[in-house]
Amino acid sequence: MLSLSYDRRGLIPVIAQDVRTGEVRMMAWANEEAIRKTLETGYAHYFSRSRKEVWKKGETSGELQRVVEVRVDCDEDAVIYIVEQEKNRACHKGERNCFFRKIDGKRTTNPLPFEALQRLQEVLKDRIEKKPEGSYTAKIVSEGEDRVLQKFGEEAVETLIALKNSDKDRILAEVSDLLYFLTLSLTLKGIDLREVLEELIGRMK
């Protein structure tokens, strides 16, 4: 293990970043014991400055963070836990991440661009399961898988036409529709977008 540079209190800042969406879930502190327990157990451990003890994230709330990888910055004085947030709520206030407010105090709910597809799939899974009234996703799914695949095919053709015509506004609109139906089709097949992206990563040389 690298020789981490702890501060005078024996602590190092830790960022928890979601392996699926890329979003920053939370920031906390860890000491050497917490880092070692994280590596040994595969679950995120931190150090509580108020209680003066090591704690396992989610041990009481169930909001466990399974650690996929631990990364260290160039100066070895900060750490990132790449995590799977098991119940999708990292913040003790019930939010999906701790950074749900902007600097002016107003709430922000919009995902960043790199989160968009994974967050979309989360919404689609919820719509398919709960079938809320007025949901387009619930409606199109109720018409059957063949209908969803038909729409995917139609959007693929419309995307090709937009690309051929070099119409940027139409390209943006049609590709967005295409990605929606692609994600919906994968979701109905039980395929997570993460699996597709990992396959793509595996092809990078």
Instruction: Give the separation between CA 45 and CA 34, rounded to whole angstroms.
Output: 5
Please report which residue ranges of 50-192 form alpha helices under DSSP H.
Answer: 116-130, 136-142, 145-165, 168-188
Sign of CA dihedral 183, 187, 189, 195: positive
Structure tokens at 73: 């910055």
Q: How confident is the model at residue 9 (pLDDT cuts 50, 70, 90)?
A: very high
Residue 88 has pLDDT above 90, yes or no: yes
* pTM for the full predicted model: 0.90
Top pLDDT among 131 and 205 is at: 131
pLDDT in tens, 36-46: 999 999 999 99
For 1-109, CATH number out of 3.10.20.810, 3.40.50.300, 3.30.70.100, 3.90.1570.10 equals 3.10.20.810
pLDDT value for 102: 95
pLDDT value, residue 109: 81
Q: Give the confidence band of 142 by pLDDT, cuts at 50, 70, 90.
A: very high
Q: What are the boundaries of each domain within the chain?
A: 1-109, 113-202
The CATH number of the structural domain formed by 113-202 is 1.10.287.1080
**pLDDT value, residue 2:** 85
pLDDT at 128: 98
For residue 181, the SS3 value is: helix
The number of helices, as runs of H, and strands, as runs of E, in the chain is: 6, 6
Over its C-alpha atoms, the chain yields an Rg (Å, rounded) of 21
CB-based burial, 105-125: b 16+ in 10 Å, e otherwise: eeeeeebeeebebbbbbbebe
